[in-house]
Structure 1
Amino acid sequence: MNQIPMTARGAELLREELQRLKSVERPRIIQAIAEAREHGDLKENAEYHAAREQQGFCEGRIQEIEAKLSHAQIIDVTQIPNHGKVIFGATVTLYNTATDKEVTYRIVGDDEADIKSNLISVNSPIARAMIGKQVDDAAVVQTPNGEVVYEVVKVEYL
């Protein structure tokens, strides 16, 4: 498996989720399975089957997080000198020439992406078009509605 780029914050969130799954969810599910077993016949015991299904999801997510963290390449953009280039982890303010509006995105790993929080995946079309650009550079982004031209207004390493 290749290295997975991740911000320091993204890695911390995964570690917190992993801790919660192991210390809260796993014991809760084990308790639910034990209680459901006490109800007798397991073939027709919906609570037992639901708890076992939850256990499968929980254990699968634990394995997924552990694998991601073991292959994480944690990039703390605040430790990198800002030479004005858009890189992984940078916060970029863009000017949309068609709508005459500005938008600010932070370029993050796939797991951290959340468009509602203006966190976009490094693999998204906008991020791919912006990587390596500098203030006043323009980039053309292919969208479902056609090409959109963005100008880089500001590049911050926050």
Structure 2
Amino acid sequence: MEEKQSNKKKWLLALLLLLLALGGIGAYFLTREEPKPVSIVSGEFLPEDKDASKISGAELKKMAQATVDRSKFNMVIAPEATFETSAQAGELIIQNPTHNAYPVNVEITRNDNGELIYTSGAIQPGFEVKEAKLEKNLSKGDYPATAKFSLYDDKTKEKKGEVAAKIMIHIKN
């Protein structure tokens, strides 16, 4: 009989534990809150189309060509410059054609020692230098040199690029 009572107590204990577990699970589901969707309205909304129209193919080509034209640059400098003496103005031809988009500054340096011998200052598109005076005294002779064209944005004064050309400087006396 003791054994029956012992088995009965075990069953009651197991049943009680099962009921407690089911009660805990039930209480969890009954007391938890379901997430509710929240509407958020922020900022302004894009209005409907009104006056805008698609850019035509011809206009797109024109815009692309304008961009290409701004990126083109033709440098024009005579391959030789001749001076009677380095103290006198001599023939030095530099041009910035009208189709170039940017003003330039030209610096001429000697190839043998890197010495700067001439600076043009700003040359706007459509302007040229025909005659110039060197900034350094040079004795009679021929001087291989490099003319560096620096391109600048006329509005921002920001440097846009550089190109260079070889030139020969002749000093006669």
TM-score class normalised by the smaller sequence: under 0.3
TM-score, normalised via structure 2 length: 0.18
- Where relative contact order (Cα < 8 A, 6+ residues apart) is larger, the structure is 1
Work out which of the two has the higher radius of gyration on C-alpha atoms and give 1 or 2.
2
Q: Which has the higher strand share?
A: 2
